[in-house]
Amino acid sequence: MKLAMIGFGQAGGKIVDRFLDYDDRTGSGIVRAAIAVNSAKADLMGLKNIPQENRVLIGQARVKGHGVGADNELGAEVAEEDIDEVQNAIDAIPTHEVDAFLVVAGMGGGTGSGGAPVLAKHLKRIYTIPVYGLGVLPGTDEGGIYTLNAARSFQTFVREVDNLMVFDNDSWRQTGESVEGGYEQINEEIVRRFGILFGAGEVGDGQEVAESVVDSSEIINTLSGGGVSTVGFASEEVDMNTGGGLLSRFTGDGGGDDNLDAANTTNRITSLVRKAALGRLTLPCEIEGTERALLVLAGPSEYLNRKGIERGRKWLEEETGSMEVRGGDYPREEPEVAAAILLSGVTNVPRIKRLQQVAIEAQDNIDDIQQESEENLEELVEDDEDELEPLF
């Protein structure tokens, strides 16, 4: 499926930038247009793949390109004030060729946390295609203000979008990694998972069309109904040349191999589906109670079969209790078989419950937190000035 991606704030911009890179590497063709919006000029300059004309600096009159720090109320204000500048960039892209918008942002900071929900609301008013969010939750070690920002932004964002897909940094922290190095890896994990999901509906002309290929409408139907989504993923390397018993037939080593290979293919698929659903999700949660799910099996077509996907789908129905589990193939020439599972409308999410609790408790000590936020902002502006000296 073809997306117009808008990265709001630093995390949002970097992740969209990385989606472009993924598209390039894999030829998946999901990013029809990519835009980055930020109040910090240095963050926009740090991007690699998003075209210069699609980098929109907002809030110049207020913060002079230095960013809003961790003040997400200011982030929301500058987004509202400069929404026309964002719209100008969107006007320049062919939205009639796009299946949906994807607004990507870190929920814990200022610009993306405050601005992404504002943009989502604006897009919903103007366009008829779905507007999805990809929200990144902060690590709990980042501090109170980030958690509070996330708690507030999350509530607004989920209300404004057609579906909010969530990635929780806290569950993906690597120990002993620098923060930046850690983000590189995390961002790669993000684009891989969502790349397979959205790429599934975008099988190109020259590519082999499988019997049960996933199309865009199935992704859209799974996401419709709103709420919060999480993604599970598992993969296994395979040999590109010996799959499906083709080679064994040519070399003549055994006539009964086809059945054995088919059984292997089915077993591989069902075990990948279990691993994907029961392993680490982008937002950890109880999968029981999921409203809708989509299972995508990606890999060389000789490693995909209908029986495996059907079994995986049935198993998912039992585990989630959902009556709406879709499933299908995504044939692609990569030396791995991968299962990506979109669980949409999840209800039992401990992290979200904690965030909601934080939002409630925050009403009690709002003054302390506001002061912390203002100090952060002052520090950041000072830091930024030092950093920006050689650039301008």
Binding footprint of Mg ion on the chain (CB under 5 A): 10
154 belongs to the binding site for ligand GDP (CB under 6 A): no
Kindly tell me which residue out of 59, 138, 245, 327 binds ligand GDP, with binding defined by CB under 6 A: 138
Instruction: Tell me how far, at minimum, the Cβ of 83 lies from ligand GDP, in Å.
Output: 16
Please name the residue that has the structure tokens 């939002």: 359
- 255 annotated binding-site participant: no
Kindly tell me which residue out of 58, 65, 99, 111 binds ligand GDP, with binding defined by CB under 6 A: 111
- 12 annotated binding-site participant: yes
Residue 46 DSSP class: T
Question: How many other CB atoms are found less than 10 A from the CB of residue 340?
Answer: 26
Q: 228, 361, 234, 375: which is closest to 298 by C-alpha? A: 234
Specify the residue, 238 or 349, whose C-beta has the smaller distance to ligand GDP. Answer: 349
110 belongs to the binding site for ligand GDP (CB under 6 A): yes
Instruction: Tell me how far, at minimum, the Cβ of 367 lies from ligand GDP, in Å.
Output: 22
CB 17 within 8 A of CB 4: no
Q: 187, 220, 255, 204: which is closest to 49 by C-alpha? A: 187
Selection from ligand GDP, Mg ion, none that 71 binds (CB < 5 to 8 A by kind) is: none
Burial call 299-319: b when 16+ CB within 10 Å, e when fewer: bbbbbbbeebbbbbbebbeeb
59 belongs to the binding site for ligand GDP (CB under 6 A): no
Site for ligand GDP in 353-372 (CB under 6 A): none
86 belongs to the binding site for ligand GDP (CB under 6 A): no
CA 310 to CA 305: how far, in whole Å? Answer: 9
- 356 annotated binding-site participant: no
Kindly tell me which residue out of 37, 119, 136, 295 binds ligand GDP, with binding defined by CB under 6 A: 136
Site string for ligand GDP, 90-109 (x = CB under 6 A): ----------------x-xx
Instruction: Tell me how far, at minimum, the Cβ of 118 lies from ligand GDP, in Å.
Output: 12
Burial call 135-147: b when 16+ CB within 10 Å, e when fewer: bbbbbeebeebbb
Structure tokens at 116: 């992404």
Please name the residue that has the structure tokens 């509530």: 155
Selection from ligand GDP, Mg ion, none that 110 binds (CB < 5 to 8 A by kind) is: ligand GDP
Kindly tell me which residue out of 10, 153, 322, 344 binds ligand GDP, with binding defined by CB under 6 A: 10
Residue length of the chain? 392
Question: How many other CB atoms are found less than 10 A from the CB of residue 333?
Answer: 12
- 112 annotated binding-site participant: yes
CA 348 to CA 291: how far, in whole Å? Answer: 11
183 belongs to the binding site for ligand GDP (CB under 6 A): yes
Enumerate residues 6+ apart whose C-beta is below 8 A from 68.
39, 40, 59, 62, 74, 75, 78, 110, 111, 114, 377
Specify the residue, 33 or 380, whose C-beta has the smaller distance to Mg ion. Answer: 380
For helices 111-126 and 9-26, give the axis angle rounded to 10 degrees.
Answer: 70
Instruction: Tell me how far, at minimum, the Cβ of 138 lies from ligand GDP, in Å.
Output: 3
- 187 annotated binding-site participant: yes
63 belongs to the binding site for ligand GDP (CB under 6 A): no
329 belongs to the binding site for ligand GDP (CB under 6 A): no
Instruction: Tell me how far, at minimum, the Cβ of 21 lies from ligand GDP, in Å.
Output: 13
Q: Collapsing DSSP states into helix, strand and coil, what is residue 169?
A: helix
Residue type at 264?
Answer: N
Kindly tell me which residue out of 99, 142, 218, 302 binds ligand GDP, with binding defined by CB under 6 A: 142
Selection from ligand GDP, Mg ion, none that 156 binds (CB < 5 to 8 A by kind) is: none
Q: 50, 74, 126: which is closest to 374 by C-alpha? A: 74
Contacts with ligand GDP by CB under 6 A lie at: 9-11, 14, 43, 106, 108-113, 136, 138-139, 142, 146, 169, 183, 186-187
Binding residues for GTP: 10-14, 110-112, 142, 169, 187
